[in-house]
């Protein structure tokens, strides 16, 4: 490619930071002008533990009478976080007896906020992780011993650790995304030293991400995750418990018809899809590729735009830009090719760890527990065989 018409990619154009990646600046903790929502968020773990969340919500005339005109996006996201947790808590308060209808006082503001944010009215990864943290010491960086969740379902060590591991990985991805963009822009302008520097920055970030993911079992037990954390992040598409979906009462756009949305899942994180796209990793069509394409609808719109931009980076022969450039440089610049291969290998390692967790946290637990059943992920799709396939395809990307 090396075209004079090329416009360099810039992370800030997509609301992405080289320090924090897809994480926003520190999320809003309280909604000062919406005391009912703040109370609901604060009390939710206790109400859910006592199985009184439905009673509490049913007893309110309104949770959010209207969206204040003074609200900014951070207010929308904070309210969306509370209402999304509340919606799932309402549905799954009694996991084996889910509610098939959300009352209007919850459904209407939830759907209004979802429309403003460009996401479906369901708990997505953006509300579960990206917008759901605070620093214990505001002066210190985002790291595992300095971040806690703003919102929980039941709370407890395992639930907290499961999510903050994801948040830490998102933060660590920031310098990696900056490195990826540096490498792609360098390839477009035929600057091999820029490509090499960018790839090395990406590899350093990927190493940190991998090492954080390896810590999941330190404080999140597979049994507790499967039986006390996972049930509440399910949703209502491909759900045996809610085969028709969920009715959002009082939402005119749905005309009283049940809606089907996927549950929260790490597949709604933009990191791995962006690494695939940037590094030129392709996957032959299968049910998981279809599902992953659908998961993009649950990402914040600007992150979707960034992913699309990466996918459109190709050289003059139609190959992915960065991988094509790395292959062209293989003989005369072996250090650059080695750096590219290191990044692909680290992506494969990350996937391999994830496959192992899917097996131990879900597949094996399902063999001995009847709760939140299925051989599917929380998004509602079969996973094990296809996760392994995507891992194998990643490894093959650097094999002649």
103: Cα within 13 Å, side-chain hemisphere? 16
Residue 16 lies in a domain: no
> Which tokens in the block code for residue 161?
């650790």
Residue 10 lies in a domain: no
Supply the pTM of this predicted model: 0.95
Which pLDDT band holds residue 307 (cuts at 50, 70, 90)? very high
Which residues make Cβ contacts (< 8 Å) with residue 147, sequence separation at least 6? 133, 134, 135, 136, 164, 167, 168
Look at 44-48, 172-176, 279-283, 385-389 and tell me which has the smallest mean pLDDT: 385-389
Number of folded domains that form the chain: 1
**Cα separation of the two ends of the chain:** 22
Q: State the CATH number of the domain containing residue 366.
A: 1.20.58.480
Residue 252 lies in a domain: yes
Residue 379 lies in a domain: yes
With residues binned 3-state (H G I as helix, E B as strand, rest as coil), the percentages for the chain, rounded to 5, are 55, 5, 40
Rounded-to-10 torsion of CA 248, 254, 259, 261: -90
pLDDT digits (tens, 9 = 90+) for 63-97: 999 999 999 999 999 999 999 999 999 999 999 99
Full domain range(s) for residue 62: 21-396
Beta strands of 101-164 (E only): which ranges? Answer: 101-102, 134-135, 147-148
Residue 15 lies in a domain: no
Q: For residue 246, report the phi and psi dihedrals to the nearest 5 degrees.
A: -125, 135
Residue 13 lies in a domain: no
pLDDT at 373 over 90: no
Residue 137 lies in a domain: yes
C-beta of residue 114 within 8 angstroms of C-beta of residue 124: no
pLDDT digits (tens, 9 = 90+) for 157-203: 999 999 999 999 999 999 999 999 999 999 999 999 999 999 999 99
Closest by Cα among 182, 227, 262 to 10: 182
Average pLDDT, the chain: 94
**Locate tokens 């499967």: which residue?**
226
Q: Label residues 146-182 b or e (16+ Cβ within 10 Å = b).
A: bbebbbbbbbeebbbbbbbbbbbbbbbbbbbbbbbbb
d(CA 173, CA 166) in angstroms, rounded, equals: 11
d(CA 95, CA 365) in angstroms, rounded, equals: 17
């Amino acid at each position: 490619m090396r075209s004079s018409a090329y416009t360099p990619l810039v992370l800030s154009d997509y609301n992405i930071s080289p320090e924090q990646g897809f994480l926003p600046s520190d999320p809003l903790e309280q909604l000062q002008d919406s005391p009912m929502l703040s109370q609901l968020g604060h009390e939710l773990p206790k109400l859910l533990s006592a199985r009184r969340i439905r009673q509490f919500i049913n007893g309110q005339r309104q949770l959010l009478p209207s969206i204040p005109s003074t609200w900014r996006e951070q207010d929308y996201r904070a309210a969306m976080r509370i209402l999304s947790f509340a919606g799932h808590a309402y549905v799954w308060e009694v996991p084996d007896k889910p509610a098939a209808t959300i009352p209007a006082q919850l459904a209407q503001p939830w759907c209004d906020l979802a429309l403003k944010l460009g996401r479906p009215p369901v708990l997505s990864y953006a509300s579960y992780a990206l917008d759901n943290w605070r620093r214990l010491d505001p002066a210190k960086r985002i790291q595992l011993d300095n971040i806690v969740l703003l919102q929980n379902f039941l709370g407890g060590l395992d639930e907290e650790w499961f999510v903050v591991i994801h948040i830490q990985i998102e933060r660590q991805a920031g310098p990696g995304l900056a490195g990826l963009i540096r490498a792609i822009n360098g390839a477009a302008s035929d600057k091999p030293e820029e490509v090499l520097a960018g790839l090395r920055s990406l590899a350093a970030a990927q190493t940190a991400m991998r090492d954080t993911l390896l810590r999941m079992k330190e404080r999140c037990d597979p049994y507790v995750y499967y039986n006390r954390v996972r049930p509440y992040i399910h949703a209502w598409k491909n759900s045996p418990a809610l085969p028709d979906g969920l009715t959002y009462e009082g939402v005119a756009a749905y005309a009283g018809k049940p809606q089907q949305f996927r549950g929260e899942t790490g597949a709604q994180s933009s990191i791995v899809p962006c690494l695939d796209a940037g590094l030129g990793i392709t996957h032959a069509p299968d049910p998981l590729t279809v599902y992953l394409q659908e998961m993009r609808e649950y990402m914040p719109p600007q992150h979707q735009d960034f992913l699309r931009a990466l996918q459109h980076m190709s050289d003059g022969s139609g190959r992915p830009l960065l991988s094509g450039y790395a292959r062209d440089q293989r003989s005369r610049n072996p250090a650059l090719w080695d750096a590219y291969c290191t990044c692909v290998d680290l992506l494969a390692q990350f996937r391999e760890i994830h496959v192992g967790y899917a097996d131990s946290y879900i597949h094996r637990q399902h063999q001995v527990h009847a709760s939140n059943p299925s051989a599917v992920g929380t998004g509602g799709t079969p996973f094990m065989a296809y996760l392994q396939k995507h891992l194998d395809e990643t490894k093959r990307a650097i094999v002649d």
